[in-house]
Structure 1
Amino acid sequence: MSKMKLKIGEFSQMMQVTVKTLRHYEQKGLLLPDEVDEWTGYRYYSLDQMQKLQTIRDLQRLGFSLDEIKDLYDDVSHTPSVRQLTEKIKETEQQLKQLIARRNRLLDWRDSRKEMKTMEKFSIQSLPEIIVASHREVIPNYAAIGPMCYEKIGPEMQRLGCKCPPPGYCFTIEHNKEYTPTDIDIEYCEQVEEMGTDSAIIQFKRLPAVPKALCMKHVGPYERFYESYTEAFRYMEEQGYKVAGQHRTCYIDGAWNQEDPEKWLSVIQIPIE
């Protein structure tokens, strides 16, 4: 009885795998066609290749890489040993721990953002001591804050290997002695897990704790911060608070993830006593 042969396209359809994947398996020496026509170059697959491909896919689902699977087929047994299975179980348990940790961090981040979006317009909070990656620059206007962050500061922090604890805390401090709509001397700070090595763009420093700060939500473009400052200082006067340090502007949603400036969310933080 002659052996049944399938062209690569037919084999691809029946096994629900792309031709590109089959050629990749062939290049790795993992799944060779049963026959290759020397004149046409057509590749033909048999029932044996079907069974082998099924085994390959099963092993991949169990976490074995293609290189590991090839080693198994180079071996006589064609199946993982008890030692190999034990190692794969340990790897899976480690990956599971990492995924659980990632899920917990994402949950914390999500819950923090929910709290931020639903917080009262004014709140009194303490700001803990933190380590920040800092960048100070004179920018032409407030609209330049977004590009400065994601075109310059972000890539440099990534290059330096900065790790930011969730949910993420970034803010700016203005160093101008008086208001100016242009040539704004601004310092951008983002909380990081540890001190790093300074570069031409990023400097690392430790900021002391702020025992008490008035926090106020600002919704809208940065050019309207004055509206929120007016409200904040009126509230401080009514409550008998005084400014006790340099204010911060914390950014929650901005140009990097929200196109409409009217939906940008920031929090003004003013140390008080």
Structure 2
Amino acid sequence: MLTIGEFSKISRVSTKTLRYYDQIGLLKPGFVSKDSGYRYYEVSQLRDMLLITRLKRYRFSLPEISAVLATRDNSRLGELLQAKKEEFLLHINDQQHILLQMEQDIAKIERCENIMQADYLVKTVEMHPMTIFSHRKNMGLEDLDAAFAAMFAEMERKKINPSGPYLIIYHDEVFDHDNSDMEIAVQIAGGAGEHIRDLSPGFCCFATHIGPYDNLGECYAALSEWIEREGYVIAGPPFDLYVKDFSHGVSLSEYVTEVYFPIKK
């Protein structure tokens, strides 16, 4: 057996950390002397300690690691590692977008441009009424994927086919990232029934945003400035029309979103 000091030296983990792992039940010593209270570890426990260290590097929480050690199920561990891998890939993708945005901002500054100045061509249009299938409820942005999945599943059960792009209508005057009155919808050819209604925005101004959604606020700002400059007021809830997205097999930089504001003089 190994003393806690020997185990610490070989595993490169401090004795303070080992005592904490013992306290929380993550890695208990193989033997504790009743007389001295000294902790002793089995040599075989070095592999457990190496696994703990590796899983921590993979951003597993201590409770998650404890569950892995308790079950010793390699199939389950493989599933957990795959899930963590996907989390890392999403994080890397997000960081790459941030780096791209930083590079664009640096280039603007070098050209003596305002990094928050975005060039959007604002147009006006008389929107014809459209029939939509929609779900409206209070939710956060992180809930949208699940909400759309549930809506599309219901449409499939009812054999309702989309006839145009999907959209999100924002009914709250003040937007809350975590809890807002949002209506997710998709244009359909017609019909009647639960969750089916007509949308008649009327006269609108709109602008086209190209790229990821995290920069969509710039389009909203440009439209708001145009509305004030041209002497209009907002006459209804704004909405996003998703013209091109992942379902079209394009990259984030090629996403096309049209933002509409119903307006009046």
Calculate the TM-score normalised by the size of structure 1: 0.47
